[in-house]
Structure 1
Amino acid sequence: MKLRLFPQETAALELLAKMAQQSVSAAQVLSEMFGARRQDHQRIFDELMNHERQATELQRALLTQLRTSFVNPLPREDLLDLSEGLVASMEQLVAVGEVVVLNRLDRIAREASDQLEIVNRQAELTVTAMRSLGRLDDLEDYWIETIRLAKRANHTHRVWSADSLRELSIGHYARNAEMARALLSAAHAFRDIATNVGRIIVKES
């Protein structure tokens, strides 16, 4: 493992961790939306959008940090790729909320909450991982667990889709399918971040 000497290098990692924390907060907001009355959905969605804006501001701060710093804990392009993965995960979480609002959903399928629980756990793991990028040897378990959770999300998605196709009308099925795709895409976005971390671990070892 390459030796890291400078404590000030952690600034970029803290910004990445704060971006990941916005995803945790977004997942918590979605959990509130899933249990809320329809008339409250727009207000909750506005809160979700605020977390997306904060993530965007944090990415902008990261870009400034990368341009102005002399030494970074990892190559600039790796840090940039991770930030783009975090933005992608946030976009998918926002998409879930948008599906709820646009389709005026009164009842949220149990499977949606199951998927959101998986995504929230991935986001929590990612917060810790972003802070630990200076100690890559400690991140193999994160890499493996996040990918395992994505496989679990794949299974839940398949079961949810099959059950919905059998039990729901065409209209209800379409709305469920749209939400299911957005939640699965969020799980895949976090999987892609973990895969990127795995690539960095191999490259930097």
Structure 2
Amino acid sequence: MKPSLTRLLSSQSAALDHLESMADAFEQSVDVLAQLFGASHDAAEELDTQLGALDSRATSLHMALLTSLRSAFVTPLPRQDLYLISNGLNRAIERTCLVGSIIHQSRSYRLPTAAMDVLEILDRQSDLLKAAMAQLTDFDQLEVTWIQLERLGHRAERVLLSWRLQDASELLARHYYRQREVALGLGDAFEAVRQVIVALGQVLVRES
């Protein structure tokens, strides 16, 4: 029995819909994380709960995408590419939410300007990734977005390095180590975003 046209089209749409939803969840997680900066402890409790819910939602979307790929007759891009993009987004959300937990549990709500600079870059990357997920079948537009993501990735590395090399003598030891954990956590989030950027680059090379 031949697959119906409706099923073929719905299979393609499902994979892209899941990726767009994951990119949206990443954008939300970065926004909630930003709200933790300077928050009161009571407000932070609710924000941490929101991050936990976003993390769970991302995992569910990632699993749903895997299921849709296994059952699809046709996919808009190779299954491996779609899986790598989804896995990277899921890890980016997971790492972003983990940073929120570090901030909340250590009560490190007051962070240096460098932390805000790093978060601003992550926020911009989340916007671009959301755009990229809507451009997976428009390679000219995707290339423009990919270039911007690459540039932001390099900028993030420089800002993070500057923060990590901050003179420890300027801070009490406990504050220094708390800030270091936050910086390392954000570095992990950027590394997950890097995985998505690499996967998008592979798509562009393969489809060119």
Above 0.5 in TM-score?
yes
Cα pair distance change 1:39/1:7, threshold 3 Å: closer
Query: Which secondary structure state, in structure 2, belongs to the residue aligned with residue 144 of structure 1?
Result: helix
| Matches of 1:95 and 1:199, distance apart in 2 | 28
For the 8 Å contact 2:36–2:109, the answer to whether it is kept is no
The yes-or-no answer on 1:43 pairing with 2:46 is: yes
Query: Aligned residues, how many?
Result: 201
The answer as to whether partners of 2:11 and 2:73 remain within 8 angstroms in 1 is: no
The amino acid of 1:84's aligned partner reads N
Residue deviations 1:157-189 (CA, integer Å, cap 9, x gap): 122122342411222111111101111221222
Q: Render the CA deviation track for 1:114-141: whole Å, top value 9, x for unaligned.
A: 1111111111111111121112232112
Contact 1:92 1:183 in 2 (8 A): yes
- The one of 186, 200, 204 equivalent to 1:201 is 204
Q: Matches of residues 18-167 of structure 1 in structure 2 within 5 Å?
A: 18-167=21-170
Counterpart of 2:176?
173
Q: What does the per-residue CA deviation read over 1:83-120, in whole Å, with 9 as the maximum and x for residues that have no partner?
A: 10011101110121111122122412222121111111
Unpaired segments of 5 or more residues in structure 2?
1-7
Give the alignment's TM-score, normalised by structure 2.
0.90
Q: Is the 8 A contact 1:112 1:183 kept in 2?
A: no
| Structure 1 residue 33 displacement after superposition | 1.0
Letter of the 2:156 counterpart: A
TM-score by length of 1: 0.91
| Aligned-pair CA distance for 1:199 | 1.1
Please state how far the C-alpha of 1:8 moved relative to its aligned partner: 6.3
Q: What is the distance in 1 between the residues matched to 2:181 and 2:55?
A: 20
In terms of mean alpha carbon deviation, does 59-68 or 92-101 score higher?
A: 59-68
Counterpart residue identity of residue 15, structure 1: H
The one-letter code sitting in structure 2 at the alignment partner of 1:22 is: A
Q: What amino acid sits opposite 1:126 in the alignment?
A: L
1:191 maps onto 2:200 in alignment: no
Q: Tell whether the 8 Å contact from 1:142 to 1:194 is kept in structure 2 after alignment.
A: no
- CA RMSD in angstroms comes to 1.8
Q: Distance in 2 between matches of 1:164 and 1:189?
A: 27
CA contact (8 A) 2:108 2:179 kept: no
Distance, in Å, in 2 between the alignment partners of 1:136 and 1:188 is 24
Q: 3-state SS of the aligned residue for 2:166?
A: helix
- Distance in 2 (CA, whole Å) between partners of 1:90 and 1:27 is 8
Where does structure 1 lack aligned partners over 5 or more consecutive residues? none
